[in-house]
Chains A and B, each alone.
Chain A
Amino acid sequence: MKVGESVRRPDAPPKVRGTFVYSSDLRAEGMLWGATVRSPHPHARIRSIDASEARAMPGVHAVLTHEDVPGKKVYGLEIADQPVLAFEFVRYWGEAVAVVAADHPEQARRAAGKVRVDYEVLPPVTRAEDGKVLRHVKIRHGDQSARADVVVKGEYEIGMQDQAPLGPESGLAIPDGEGGVDLHIATQWLHVDQQQLAGILGLPKEKVRLTMAGIGGAFGAREDLSMQAHACLLALKTGRPVKISYSRPESFVGHVHRHPGTLSYEHGANRDGTLVYVRARILLDGGAYASSSTAVIANATCFACGPYRVPNATIDGIVVYSNNPPCGAMRGFGSVQNCYAHEAQMDKLATALGMDPVELRIKNALETGDRAITGQAIDGPVPVAELLRRVRSFPLPLGEEGEGEGRELFLPGGVSNTTHGEGVKRGVGYAAGFKNIGYSEGFDDYSTARVRLFVHHGKPRVEVHTAAAEVGQGVALVQAQVAGSELGVTDVVVLNADTRVGSAGSSSASRQTYITGGAVKAASEAVCRRVLDLAESELHPGSELRIENDSIVDAGGKPMVSLATLLGDAVIEETREFRPRKTHHLDPDTGQSDAHMQFAFAAHRAVVDVDTELGLVKVVELATAQDVGKAINPLAVQGQLEGGAAQGLGLAVMEEIQVKDGVIKNASFTDYLLPTILDMPPVKMDILELGDPNSPYGLKGVGEPPTISSGPAIVAAIRAATGRAIDRVPVRPQDLTL
């Protein structure tokens, strides 16, 4: 298994066959089930909680409230403001107030229903305009009073998207009988969970051990704690293993969502199409608790103008608290919302100038050495113009796909027989986007890898151990490929992630291949050095040695000795931390700074058919070009490009959590619609490997860019098909017809 080879996921067949063990399938002897009492109000004062009736119910072993939290009563990724269990106030609909453990899940749910919470209902803040400011990021770049020949303005609204991982939040906490606890959990960052849990439980970190459990997707939804603390509290209280597994409706209130927002933009350009300035105000609703809102708004602001040269920028990014569902991390992390706005603006500007929209983008495309609106000079390959040219050069799809039987499946409305061609118009749209890879703003980002080489059944084996969360993105295989390449050993085993090894950081920000890949590379190189030192001391070769195919070979590739023979009983183990280059805080007044570690770029072209009378949309084709620096596992890269585009399509045309007066109205997959195979078209892709000089193997983070520009390209195509100025996503049938 080498870097650059397409490798199939070993967990794919068991997942298809239904034998894969997800976190929700975990069991233990004597296990209890947890259930959560949740607030029916978006805002209320808690006068009292009476759990006496619930405690007396059959099968119930514990009912816990905030009074039973031994340590810190609040937690949070950036700001500790979210109660483990609500005290004094509830601030969003569905907030956890109490937890119950019982022999059977139904007993637990029934007992949860009998916990009497006396609420004094308070008026909720449900409009972002009325919310308290959580963070205001300012960018003041260049001339603040710049003027331009041609000016276009727009205001855009983005709905609240859900990560909708197919595996709901679940895990199993097992008390160790000595005051500590082992938590088996599907999460994105084991060590940040551990740190937060130790604080909440009032335990030293060594007594809170986490092991990664089988995960059904993440997409940002598993950055924050959900049921982790509740399960641990119940397990420690009862002395029994406790499992909590959310239902789908509960999952909708059990994790944060993508921020909804209102984005007001003004673009100014010269008559030749050169951008002069961008002024924008981005208002995101962070909901009841901070989660990662402060970082999301920084991204939304830093990348507000898209991958274009903007000499003068005035951007105000504001995220507020409200009594709406809390929002936080989701694939694209602030760069999704603004892409809808800046790309709509670029199309508007092209129309105003009488220019081709792709040519306008190419004319203003960022290039290597250009400064972003944060003043940071962007180094490494910046192929924005090239990506746009490539998506444009894919041949356009033919008219309606196929003929006769089954043809209606490819028309808007799909199986629903809404049109036989009547009212159908085709449109083509383009979009480009970019974002940061890895953590920004001075965060001390690193990952730890332990690599061990030894002889197993007469053959050399490499064991790789990190805490990198495999969330479906393929980081386990990446680790095997890196170690296999660096050590020339065929038998590479990647151990399940847990907290017995140092932190790997989060499976977020498209960073794991870069940072944990880098750590595994560094540890493997250290092991390799020791092996070669050993070989040199024993063989006294005339030339330099290396490891290839489980043997020590000389410079000419001639095998000198097998690794198994050389090693004998020796175990060579090295642990390394890998840090990418440093980033810096944004200047609070101007937002000018080298705040980001790496930038990734993608472009999309969308072709849609719209039934203009019914307002139904069929995305006929998506084409994308993305620079991935180096494809470590090309098959996995393709999967990311397709899956990311599907998630972008979802926000463009159907995925929205509908919140009214602070209450989610569609908390199930009956009415929160995800794209099906009939909604998601094939993706044509052009994967560029231009090599970043700063990163391991030249790679770039891959997972998020596909989610950024895919949706805006689809909306541009819908505009082209209908002639309507669409300023809100997801686009609803009524927006295209009434």
Chain B
Amino acid sequence: MEFLQPSTWAEALDMKAAHPETTPIAGGTDVMVELNLDHGRPASIMDLTRIKDLTEWGTDDGLLRIGAGVTYTRLIEELGDRLPGLAMASRTVGSPQIRNRGTVGGNLGTSSPAGDAHPPLLAADAQVEVHSKAGVRRIPVREFFTGPKKNAMLKDELIAAFLVAPAPGPQQFSKVGTRNAMVIAVCSFALELDPAHRRVGTGIGSAGPTPLRAVQAEEFIQGELEWENRRPPSDAAMGRFGELVAAAAKPIDDVRGSAAYRRHALAVMARRCLQWCWT
């Protein structure tokens, strides 16, 4: 196995162009697990931890631009006030040790349907900024996931950052796992309300081949919510919202839970998240 260790971003992009099959590694919380479980042996690995740019965040035209190498711990501590939904999701990632190493960039790179960061990024309509020697692309996260552990990136591209607006309103994230901490999602749900634009964003995790959005549920509840007087939505509307979220999922039966349970739990989480966001 070849071990590539670029010290600058330009060098990393050169290396990625020269070795398009290389597996980038940052925190290693996905890559090392795959190696340890003997799920394939990459021909080469590129260590991105020497590239300081990746660990920085700032603003870009009103959006937060967060380097792919910013850890979950830093997201929670430094950006929890501006991105409460993503911070809630980050808190459910692994153990403190994992959160000290793991990054949203890595989560996006792996593109697992169970990635905890994905639902809040979907709900917030975030963008993934990918670079190659040929240039820069910003891919809406809603178009990023193309299949199980597959995404819209080209072979010579690396994830530089993701861009997301500071929360325009209440955000929530909820995740079902069969233990009370340090657990992979059986299913998860993220919700964002944007009162100024009367918009609702959703994200579903671990209940389909990719992270999903519940578009019909969003459209339905945007029309139902009384944005002016902030009256609580009716039980019927809440129930319908839950049903539409469940209907948007494409779950399967696996070792973590049944498809039927996942749909059931999504409906419950959707109703609860809406309740928590609205009141």
Residues of A whose CB lies within 8 Å of any CB of B are: 109, 247-249, 409, 412-420, 422-423, 613-616, 618, 653-654, 658, 665-666, 668, 670-671, 673, 675-679, 732-734, 737-738
Contacts and interface: CB of A to CB of B under 8 A. Distances in A.
A109 B179 contact: no
A412 B180 contact: yes
A422 B272 CA distance: 8
A679 B179 contact: yes
B181 interface: yes
Given A109-B38, A666-B255, A418 B269 contact: yes
Contact of A671 (B91, B255, B268, B272): B255
Contact of A733 (B88, B184, B186): B186
Interface string B32-44: 0100111000000
B268 A414 contact: no
Nearest to B181: A678
Nearest to B180: A414
A415 B174 CA distance: 9
Nearest to B182: A676
Interface stretch (B46-54, B136-144, B193-201, B256-264): B256-264
A737 B264 contact: yes
A673 B38 contact: no
A131 B208 CA distance: 37
A618 B179 CA distance: 9
A665 B255 contact: yes
Nearest to A734: B261
Contacts of B184: 670-671
A737 B261 contact: yes
Contact of B264 (A666, A679, A738): A738
Given A614-B268, A732-B257, A738-B264, A415 B38 contact: no
A191 B186 CA distance: 45
Contacts of A676: 179-182
A678 B186 CA distance: 18
A413 B176 contact: yes
Nearest to B261: A734
A414 B181 contact: yes
Contacts of A418: 174-176, 269, 272
Interface string B251-279: 00001111011001100110010011000
Interface in B5-59: 33, 36-38
A419 B172 CA distance: 12
Given A671-B184, A678-B181, A247 B255 contact: no
Given A417-B175, A668-B37, A737-B264, A618 B258 contact: no
A504 B33 CA distance: 40
Contacts of B255: 658, 665-666, 671
Contacts of B172: 417
B92 interface: yes
B256 A671 contact: yes
B178 interface: yes
B260 A415 contact: no
Contacts of B261: 615, 732-734, 737-738
B180 A415 contact: yes
A673 B257 CA distance: 13
Contacts, number: 105
Given A247-B37, A415-B91, A734-B264, 8 more contacts: A413-B176, A417-B173, A420-B276, A616-B180, A654-B178, A658-B255, A676-B179, A734-B261
Nearest to B268: A613
B177 interface: yes
B265 A614 contact: yes
B215 interface: no
B152 interface: no
Contacts of B173: 417
B63 interface: no
Given A247-B38, A420-B276, A733 B174 contact: no
A732 B260 CA distance: 13
A75 to B, nearest CB: 27
A171 to B, nearest CB: 20
Contacts of B258: 734, 738
A562 B124 CA distance: 80
Contacts of A413: 174, 176-177, 180
Contacts of B92: 415-417
B257 A670 contact: no
A461 B261 CA distance: 64
A737 B186 CA distance: 14
A423 B272 CA distance: 10
A420 B272 CA distance: 9
27 contacts: A248-B36, A412-B180, A413-B174, A413-B176, A413-B180, A414-B179, A414-B181, A415-B91, A416-B177, A416-B183, A417-B173, A417-B174, A417-B175, A422-B275, A423-B268, A615-B265, A616-B180, A653-B178, A654-B179, A670-B184, A673-B179, A676-B179, A678-B179, A678-B181, A732-B261, A733-B257, A733-B261
Contacts of A109: 38
B247 to A, nearest CB: 17
A657 to B, nearest CB: 10
Nearest to A675: B179
A678 B180 contact: yes
A737 B174 CA distance: 18
A109 B178 CA distance: 33
A607 to B, nearest CB: 15
A732 B180 contact: no
A733 B176 contact: yes
Contacts of B265: 614-615, 733, 737
B257 to A, nearest CB: 6
A675 B180 CA distance: 8
A732 B264 CA distance: 14
Interface in B68-107: 88, 91-92
Contacts of A613: 268
Contacts of B179: 414, 654, 673, 675-676, 678-679
Which of B178, B257, B264, B272 counts the most A-chain CB atoms under 10 A from its CB?
B178
A730 to B, nearest CB: 8
A614 B271 CA distance: 12
A653 B178 CA distance: 8
Contacts of A409: 180
Which of B37, B173, B180 counts the most A-chain CB atoms under 10 A from its CB?
B180
A616 B265 CA distance: 10
The 8 closest A-B pairs by CB, nearest first: A414-B180, A734-B261, A678-B180, A678-B181, A416-B175, A666-B255, A613-B268, A665-B255
Contacts of A671: 184, 255-256
Contacts of B268: 423, 613-614
Nearest to A668: B37
A191 B150 CA distance: 53
A671 B254 CA distance: 11
Contacts of B180: 409, 412-416, 616, 618, 676, 678-679
Nearest to B178: A654
A417 B176 contact: no
B75 to A, nearest CB: 15
A512 B91 CA distance: 43
Contacts of B33: 670
Contacts of A420: 272, 276
A112 to B, nearest CB: 11
A730 B8 CA distance: 50
Nearest to A611: B268
Contact of B174 (A416, A658, A666, A738): A416
Interface string B181-192: 111101000000
Nearest to B256: A671
A105 to B, nearest CB: 12
Contacts of A670: 33, 184
Contacts of A248: 36
Contacts of B182: 676
Nearest to A113: B38
Nearest to B275: A422
B233 to A, nearest CB: 15
A679 B264 CA distance: 23
